[in-house]
């Protein structure tokens, strides 16, 4: 990610927005169970909030520098940080009670890889588990902010169908001018993934 993006994601303004706006809008009013997997926490401002919602949180971060910093910062807490690619999660099927993804799907290189990530989340969730999160919507400002970054915006009109294709049901989606929040429940284990 570019330097301006990294500076925003580590700022107190971002942390305040995450804690007081984005996560409250996205967090479903359902039981998350005991073990949440968070996909793409970056520097971990979402992790700081989400770790208080469950007994255990596993944060999966592709960037080894960000993963290392987050692991060091949260050592001794209920968070385990795993440096891995979310399109090939290194976990057994039906391992987590809930999953989350905040403002990272647009950093996955192609829609096909985004779909692979959704399928992997479905694979590692227990049946009935909830997947929730948010992502930025496409706009000139969003694209300008991501110059030098990977940016593959999620289309809010077809995202619910993409979640259903991955094995989710009870999909809800809410949009603002700038972002979308979603929740979905796993209805079955995928054997064809």
What's residue 191's pLDDT? 54
101 falls within a domain: yes
One digit per residue, pLDDT tens: the chain, 193 residues?
677 777 888 889 989 999 999 999 998 788 899 999 999 999 999 999 999 999 999 999 999 999 999 999 999 999 999 999 999 999 999 999 999 999 999 999 999 999 999 999 999 999 999 999 999 998 888 888 878 888 999 999 999 999 999 999 999 999 999 999 999 999 865 455 4
What's residue 119's pLDDT? 97
30 falls within a domain: yes
192 falls within a domain: no
CATH code at 72?
3.40.50.150
95 falls within a domain: yes
Number of domains in the chain: 1
**What's the Cα-to-Cα distance from 30 to each of 7, 26, 129, 142, rounded to whole Å?**
33, 11, 10, 31
β-sheet bridge partners, residue 181: 134, 174
pTM passes above 0.75: yes
Domain holding 16, by residue range, is 3-186
């Amino acid at each position: 990610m570019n330097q301006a993006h990294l500076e925003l994601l580590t700022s107190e303004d971002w942390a305040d927005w995450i804690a007081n706006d984005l996560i409250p809008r996205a967090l479903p009013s359902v039981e998350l169970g005991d073990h949440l997997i968070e996909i793409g926490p970056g520097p971990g401002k979402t992790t700081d909030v989400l770790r208080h919602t469950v007994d255990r949180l596993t944060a999966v971060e592709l960037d080894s520098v960000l993963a290392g910093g987050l692991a060091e910062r949260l050592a001794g807490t209920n968070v385990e940080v795993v440096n891995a690619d979310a399109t090939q999660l290194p976990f057994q099927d039906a391992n987590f009670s809930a999953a989350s993804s905040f403002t990272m799907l647009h950093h996955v290189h192609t829609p096909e890889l985004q779909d692979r990530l959704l399928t992997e989340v479905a694979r590692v969730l227990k049946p009935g588990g909830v997947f929730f999160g948010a992502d930025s919507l496409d706009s000139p400002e969003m694209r300008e902010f991501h110059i030098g970054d990977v940016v593959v915006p999620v289309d809010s009109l077809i995202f619910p169908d993409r979640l259903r294709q991955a094995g989710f049901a009870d999909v809800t989606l809410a949009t603002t001018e700038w972002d979308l929040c979603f929740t979905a429940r796993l209805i079955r284990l995928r054997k064809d993934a």
